[in-house]
Amino acid sequence: MPVLLQNRCPALPESSRRPVRAALAIALAAIGMAGAGSALASSHREAPFITTAPKVDGTDFYMFQSYESGRSAYTTLIADYEPLQDPYGGPNYFSLDPNALYEIHVDNTGDGKEDITFQFRFKNTLKDLSLPIAGANVAIPLVTTVGSVAAGDSSRINVNESFTLDIVRGDRRGGRRDAVTNAADGSKTFTKPLDYVGDKTFGSDAAYAKYAGQYVYSINIPGCAAGPGRVFVGQRKDPFVVALGQAFDQFNLNPVGSPTANPDKLAYKNVTALELEIPTACLVANGDPVIGGWTTASLRQGRLLNPTPSGNNRAELTGGAWTQVSRLGMPLVNELVIGLKDKDRFNASRPQNDGQFATYVTNPTLPTILQALFNVPAPTSTPRADIVATFLTGIKGVNQPKSVTPAEMLRLNTSIAPKPADQQRSLGVLASDSAGFPNGRRPGDDVVDATLRVAMGVLCTLDAPSVFGCKAGDAKAGGLPYTDGAEVNAGFFDTGFPYLKAPLAGAKAN
């Protein structure tokens, strides 16, 4: 949210600009939805209720054509949960909620409703490891016992976290549900690796990476004849990069003066990632290469606290219908686009009902706030038709489905070939990289900078502003290269599944 000016994407020569201007104009609008009022942590603690339930707080959602060598026929879907994990967060660390339902949804018909849903359910099993003390076996108080944990040996881990994965076709609650299975042995239960407790437990970063790597599974997906996919669930370093503290302190950044690099406030935090790699042919439908995606988490409506919890007997008992409490598609939407009074409502809503939030997009508050703080003129054209079109329909010629019902979600045109990591540009389509944001979202896409620029009206500075509902002179500061000064690019991540870096250690070796 900083209005820091730093030209990390130099202007193209005139000979190169005109062939890409139309594509840029179309694609830049896709960035505008998030830019209507946000550019902070993608969805960390973004609504009042979700701050009370961090285990089901979705932080980021990614959807992109796999750019690992030889995997371009696959689409990767990543949903991150449980924000701001301190690596040293023992003694219990960061298991997911066994009373919750975590889901990744795909709309392949453009109607704003899920056609395919992947459902994750978690289970924590206490081994009740003990030590002989004075002739009696006494339960240990920690998640590991004495000794190191290595790949292939979980005997010293006191709590085993496992999960099941189902695919639902049609409505998420009433559609056909089938179990996704381990391609190696047909089993229906998968193991989530223990969080990175520290080097004395795991030995080193390399040793932990090897340990966690054994839990990347090849999976058989019912109804998908294109071949096996892959799944991984585990702790990762938080992939989002942002000058978080400064942004929330009334954008306490250098506004329009000399560029200043700002620290990534999430650089020392972990998250928990739910990752899928699915054959693209099994996600698209009806000859339309565009799919939409989002992630949600739901809890049961009823909860009773157990007055006598013990061992594997839960401290709470739940029942009733599933109630959605977290939602994330396009980055940054609920963070600062949606008014405070409606943030919980947005998290409970479904994309096909997004018309109820249109006012927040047609009349965004962020540009006015920036104008008041830094005397940078906000776009004068309202309602922001460019942002509305992008938010609710996708962008024609880039990532709009053949038939579309207005609904907010991350959209990906799977017919656009992925770029190898070393060829990606962090500003995506804005930097002539059509395989990047807002055509889906890759880990290395700088959605903060991209959304900032659109929020302040870059669409209105292009050759045909009327296409986006702008008039001449609507955005006097729209061409400035806004940035928060916290850089991100594909080099921050691995070049293959599961892409996100291994988590930071709770303690390093002495």
Please classify residue 207 by burial: count the beta carbons closer than 10 Å to its beta carbon, then call 0-12 exposed, 13-18 middle and 19+ buried.
middle
Query: What residue has token string 């040996």?
Result: 153
- State the Cα–Cα distance between residues 454 and 478, nearest whole angstrom: 7
CB 106 within 8 A of CB 114: yes
- pLDDT of residue 151 exceeding 80, the answer is yes
Distance from CA of residue 388 to its chain's centroid? Answer: 22
Closest to 392 measured CA to CA, from 404, 403, 408, 411 = 408
Measured CA to CA, the distance from residue 426 to residue 443 in angstroms comes to 9
**Residue 170 backbone phi and psi in degrees, to 5:** 100, -155
Task: Give mean pLDDT, residues 37-45.
Answer: 59
φ and ψ of 460, to 5 deg? -75, 0
**Phi (first) and psi of residue 397, to 5 degrees:** 90, -10
Confidence category of residue 255, pLDDT binned at 50, 70, 90:
very low
**End-to-end alpha carbon distance in the chain:** 39
Both structure tokens of 271 = 């998250």
Q: What is the pLDDT, as a whole number, of residue 463?
A: 60
Checking if the pLDDT of 349 tops 80, the result is yes
Give the DSSP H/E element, type plus range, for residue 219: strand 217-220
**Hey, CA dihedral for 16, 426, 386, 104, is it positive or negative?**
positive
Kindly report, residue by residue over 316-333, the tens digit of the pLDDT: 889 999 999 999 999 888
Give me the residues paired with residue 161 across strands.
124, 192
Coil, strand or helix: which one is 14? helix
pLDDT for the residue numbered 397: 81
Say yes or no to pLDDT of 21 above 60: no
Is the pLDDT at 254 greater than 70? The verdict is: no
Rounded Cα gap, residues 62 and 44, in angstroms: 15
* Residue spans of beta strands (DSSP E) within 238-377: 270-279, 290-305, 316-328
Q: Are strands 229-237 and 270-279 parallel, antiparallel or unpaired?
A: antiparallel
Tell me, what amino acid is at 306? N
pLDDT of amino acid 226:
95
CA 476 – CA 493 distance, rounded (Å):
36
As a whole number of Å, the CA-based R_g of the chain is 23
Three-state secondary structure of 56-105: HCEEEEEEEECCCCCCCCEEEEEEEEEEEECCCCCCCCCCCCCCEEEEEE
Amino acid 26: pLDDT: 33
Structural contact between residues 463 and 21, judged by C-beta atoms closer than 8 angstroms: yes
The three-point CA angle 305-43-159 to 5° equals 45
Q: What is the mean pLDDT of the chain?
A: 86
Range in 55-59, 133-137, 394-398 with the lowest mean pLDDT: 394-398
Kindly report, residue by residue over 196-253, the tens digit of the pLDDT.
999 999 999 999 999 999 999 999 999 999 989 999 999 999 999 877 666 666 666 6
